[in-house]
Structure 1
Amino acid sequence: MLVAAHAHAAPLDRGDLLTFPTRDGVTQSVFIESPSPNPPIVAVLYSGGDGTTRLNGNGATSQHGNFIVRTARFWVEHGYAAVLTDAPSDMQIRGMDDYWRRSKDALADQRAIVGQVRQRFPSSKIVLVSTSRGTVTVGNVLEHAPELADGYVLTSPESVAIKHPGISDLDVPERYRSKVLIVSNKNDVCPVANYAGGERLASRNNVAFITEESDEGGGDKQSDCGGHSPHGFLGIESDTLKDINDWIEHKLQGTIAAQ
């Protein structure tokens, strides 16, 4: 079953809040919702912006307009577990910028997150699904610990370095390139994540690339990089999610069939 085609798709709100230590004196929270104890796939979700979804026992309390947050229930309705991530405790006030997302500390936190997910769902395949600035965190994993996950999805990637590094220099290790999908909207005009940048990033790394096309929302400098615009696949959520899921199922179809 697909989520509604417009922006008001449901976020996660019926699962479990899990908080655990990562680095010295630092904790990390995730919100987990699953339709079964043994789902074939777990989608670990990374929002854009500063990454502070401010999770509590009812799910995300901020960033509801972000593409990843507002469409999170799609994965649960499709039979997968969904894990919504938050900024770690030491980044809750300032938020996560690109430099921090590319750091060793950020990588340590992702190792801890995936470790917790694998402990809870030991027989499931794990796919990291990200959007906008969240792709910088996932790009950090791809470059330095690509063995952590079974698949990687980067939507509207921050592929152009303007003031912040983004992932314009992302170099996916060759043996892991078949595990990576980049998705861009042809009408995304966000300066740091425009369509040409996403296409170039996919071509340079020789990874799968999907083009979406819509022109709803946006219209000014701030909203062009927000969730309610082509950058956030406004109005074509269902089509975009279906395309992503088709790729995931194709890549992991043997695992899914065995479940």
Structure 2
Amino acid sequence: MVHIHLKRSYTHLIQFMVVNGMSSAMNPLENAMKGAAIFSKQVQVFTYTVVYLRYVRDQSILNVLFPLLLISLTRFANNVEATYFDVETSEETGLTLKELLAKTIHVLQVLFVVQSLYAVVYHYFINLESDVCRWVYGYLFTDILGEFDCSLRGKTVLFVLDVIVLLCQLQVTTDRLTRLDNGRPVNLQVFPLRKYGILSILRTSTTGLQTEDWELTISAPLRSSDSGVISSRTNSGGFNEVAYGSVR
């Protein structure tokens, strides 16, 4: 009896050590995911701030609408991914969501191209005196925006602001497509993140892309606390023949 009791105690001790060891190992991962989620939100706030500064500079409506529309669309794409990985999402719905995500990425690419072309045309035809320098009253950021010496460096300020807005949009798009709101990383097979970084959205090929040709993977299911789980959908639309809670 004493031997059995000691054996059970030893087994419980081993289980306790394993569980605590796994929890300790997961802490850095959880912290990294939280940090990534916070960073993504900070970049988004910074983007809105720069867009506002850009609008204050010359009151250009289209230069505001393009970034806001694009950021809203990235939010939609992120929601599609979250729904895709929801354990309550059926296989048939999963295929539809993949198709919708591919179309959303294609629209994002078109928006980036259209916005860039519009910016080039805008800077080519802009008239500082009539389009920019006349807005000289009521500004909150006079020293930053430089309206008191508009004719000297007005175009430079506009160009710098447009470049910053574009880079911020690329960063927000990359974050939204490769991470869920909680910071959990998503691997989008058609998105060459490791090779092109924030320019991946411009290098993603979506023309003629079929839902069976690519996969979405995630480190763990959206509604599970199990660690070390990889969830994905295969060509048939199922969950890679690995049940939630198992380890690959």
TM-score, with length taken from structure 1: 0.23
- Greater helix fraction, Structure 1 or Structure 2: 2
Q: Which has the larger radius of gyration?
A: 2
With a CA cutoff of 8 Å and minimum separation of 6, indicate the structure with the bigger relative contact order: 2
- Greater strand fraction, Structure 1 or Structure 2: 1
TM-score, with length taken from structure 2: 0.24
